[in-house]
Amino acid sequence: MQASPLRIGTRGSPLALAQAREVQARLEAAHGKGTLAFEVKIYKTSGDRIQDRLLSEAGGKGLFTKELEEALIASDIDIAVHSMKDMPTVLPEGLAIRCILPREDVRDAFISHKAGGFADLKPGAVVATASLRRQAQVRHMRPDLQVVGLRGNVETRLRKLEEGVADATLLACAGLRRLGLENRITSVISTDDMLPACAQGAVGIEMREADTVIAEILAAINHQPSALVVETERAFLRRLDGSCRTPIAGLAELKGSEMRFRGMILKPDGSVAHATERHVASHEAVKAAVEAAEELLGRAGPDFLATA
């Protein structure tokens, strides 16, 4: 057994804790129960503290990771567990993502007590979601609906829906499944109808880049196919300089040695959407995603994202 416990940094939400427990369970399964000792350290991030406005108005991506990354840099923790869709595409110097768990369901979930899906919502119905991507896609799909913001963790959003703040809400299937709440899903939205956020459904582990001991420990649970699709989607996002203030969607799907990549950028009001698709060999996927981003930038014009 190691001399000191492996310190896992996480946010304190039920979903974040479930993801941290999954990391611990996978490490125990890979290395043998009792081989590693663990200590879970909980951090309240800026994103957790800001509850009075949408995160897109408070600075976007990085609000759920900053305090964890500071703890890594200060060596207060050994690894930080993140939902990869919350991660900025550029990490602080000296830190790296060295492990991606097997990716969960990438799709969005439609949740309502009044309708079975988007097609069943009456004109003027209220759809609540904190995600600018989901807001823009709903407006693009159904401009007759009212779209409003909705903050809080998964349980809070479900409770607010019960209280009648909206006719429907949208959440990631992955988070609901990890929390054992898949029974709350009214219907699953096809990726043909709503393209997910880049890296949605993926859990990543961040560490100090120079820590070879931790890197060796994590290598045993890294899921390479998931790592490749996440890398591909984040390359697309990075080229677009994507943040929580920009409605961007992207999905890489690996089948054997072939990769299908789809990407989309939208105006927040849903009035304009540009989409593209690539089918390439898996070893060319990252390059293809960057080219897809460049194509969309070329079609949309230089001011599209700046004025989004």
**Domain boundaries, given as residue ranges, for the chain:** 6-101+202-222, 108-189, 237-300
Q: Domain 237-300 is in which class?
A: alpha beta
Q: What is the pLDDT of residues 188-214, one digit of tens each?
A: 999 999 999 999 999 999 999 999 999
* 86 a catalytic residue: yes
Q: Tell whether the model's pLDDT for residue 47 goes beyond 80.
A: no
Q: Tell whether the model's pLDDT for residue 231 goes beyond 80.
A: yes
Rounded mean pLDDT, 86-112? 96
Kindly tell me the number of DSSP H helices and DSSP E strands found in the chain: 9, 13
Q: Is 43 exposed, middle or buried (0-12, 13-18, 19+ CB in 10 A)?
A: buried
- Answer CATH for 108-189 from 3.60.150.10, 3.40.50.300, 3.40.190.10, 1.20.1740.10: 3.40.190.10
Question: Which residue is associated with the tokens 């897809």?
Answer: 292
Specify the fold of 6-101+202-222. Answer: D-Maltodextrin-Binding Protein; domain 2 (3.40.190)
The pLDDT, as a whole number, for residue 283 is: 97
The pLDDT, as a whole number, for residue 1 is: 44
Which listed residue (48, 76, 86, 211) is catalytic?
A: 86
Query: Are the folds of 6-101+202-222 and 108-189 the same?
Result: yes
The pLDDT, as a whole number, for residue 250 is: 98
Q: Tell whether the model's pLDDT for residue 185 goes beyond 90.
A: yes
